[in-house]
Amino acid sequence: MLADEFMKPAQPLLDASSPGGVPLKLITETASPMYARMGIKTGKETRNGYATSFGQTLAAVLCSLASRNQTRAAPQEGADGCVVQAEFPSGLTTMKGKLCLTLERKPEGTRSSSAAVFEGQASGRGRAKRVRDELHQDILNYRTLQP
């Protein structure tokens, strides 16, 4: 269940428990950006190597993002690779987050660095790691489907 989906049915209960209280949606819409401006965020970076071509790895990344409904920006080309940025939806423990993935061509294949970040949150309760792990597993799965 997404955080946005949880707030709809929970709001009447929260309203009843605190007469004259502030709507939960208003709190989440203002607190998260305010904390982000203060520099509060959570997230980590992971590096992986793949013994497949740059093109196959990039195709696997794009398939992974599409299969998980992650909105992505067009890949930005670099000298030896590219950067792909994506936004993933909110979850039960986190609001929406950002994923930044760098792919580099190497003689032995492709190296990736991925970082999942939740701005405005001090803790993601392990979601950043799960997002990075899911991406890595998807890359391994999708690249084997290609000729």
Could you give all domains of the chain from N- to C-terminal order, each with its CATH number?
Answer: 40-145 (3.30.530.20)
Q: Give the residue-averaged pLDDT of 126-144.
A: 83
Contact 58, 80 (CB under 8 A): no
Q: How far is CA 90 from CA 30, 37, 38, 87, in A?
A: 16, 19, 21, 10
Q: Give the residue-averaged pLDDT of 11-31.
A: 58
Over residues 62-80, the pLDDT tens digits come to: 888 888 878 877 788 888 8
- Per-residue pLDDT for 16 more than 90? no
pTM of the model: 0.66
Amino acid identity, residue 90? S
Contact 115, 136 (CB under 8 A): no
- How many whole angstroms separate alpha carbon 134 and alpha carbon 67? 11
Phi and psi angles of residue 88, each rounded to the nearest 5 degrees, phi first = -115, 150
Q: How far is CA 59 from CA 44, 67, 100, 112, 125, in A?
A: 24, 12, 16, 13, 30
Tokens of 36: 């982000």
Q: Give the residue-averaged pLDDT of 8-23.
A: 60
Highest mean pLDDT, choosing among 2-11, 87-96, 119-128: 87-96
